């Protein structure tokens, strides 16, 4: 098995656009609501659901922390719906994504998400399962419920992608 290093990039809307949305208040449309007592940061992610009986689920995931180095030996995708992860405790986490290459993931790309940023993986975007850092962390997760097979996993059989530093 070959080990290939992955560099970690800062998460920006432009760099992540081909994989989905960055969920953050910076640059978002601001609307004052409730008589001006509440700021609404409007329309932060494209929640995309398809298939018979599709419905939106709102969950809390608690991710156990990973320690460096982090080995990436598989990626997954959800063909029937997008999947959003919003940190609830202002803790950073890693996101690893890849473009599709003929039905399997291409070369992975790693992003460091700050505690005030979330991500919404586009429907069918290859990504690694949740990678919490530093300590156990809670995330509000918006994804798809309903019938159909909404999980596809791909295990790399000839290479492990390794993240050694942030």
Domain extents in the chain: 2-163
d(CA 105, CA 125): 9
2-163: CATH number:
2.60.120.480
Angle (CA) 112 9 94, round 5°: 25
Whole-number pLDDT of residue 43:
96
- pTM, two decimals, is 0.94
State the DSSP H helix or E strand holding residue 137, giving kind and residue range, or none if neither.
strand 137-145
Q: How many CB atoms lie within 10 A of CB 102?
A: 5
Whole-number pLDDT of residue 42:
96
Whole-number pLDDT of residue 1:
82
- What parts of the chain have a pLDDT lower than 70? none
Work out the widest C-alpha separation in the chain, in whole angstroms.
60
Whole-number pLDDT of residue 15:
97
d(CA 114, CA 87): 9
Whole-number pLDDT of residue 8:
97
């Amino acid at each position: 098995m070959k080990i290939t290093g992955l560099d970690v990039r800062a998460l920006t809307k432009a760099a992540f656009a081909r994989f989905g949305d960055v969920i953050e208040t910076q640059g978002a449309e601001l609307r004052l609501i409730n008589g001006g007592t509440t700021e609404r940061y409007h329309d932060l992610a494209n929640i995309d659901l398809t298939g018979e009986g599709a419905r939106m689920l709102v969950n809390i995931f608690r991710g156990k922390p990973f320690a460096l180095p982090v080995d990436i030996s598989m990626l997954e995708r959800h063909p029937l719906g997008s999947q959003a992860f919003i940190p609830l405790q202002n803790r950073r986490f890693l996101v690893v994504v890849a473009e599709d290459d003929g039905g399997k993931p291409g070369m992975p790309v790693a992003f460091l998400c700050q505690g005030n940023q979330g991500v919404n993986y586009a429907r069918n975007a290859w990504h690694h399962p949740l990678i919490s850092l530093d300590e156990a962390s809670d995330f509000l997760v918006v994804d798809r419920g309903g019938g159909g097979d909404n999980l596809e996993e791909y295990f790399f059989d000839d290479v492990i992608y390794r993240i050694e530093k942030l």
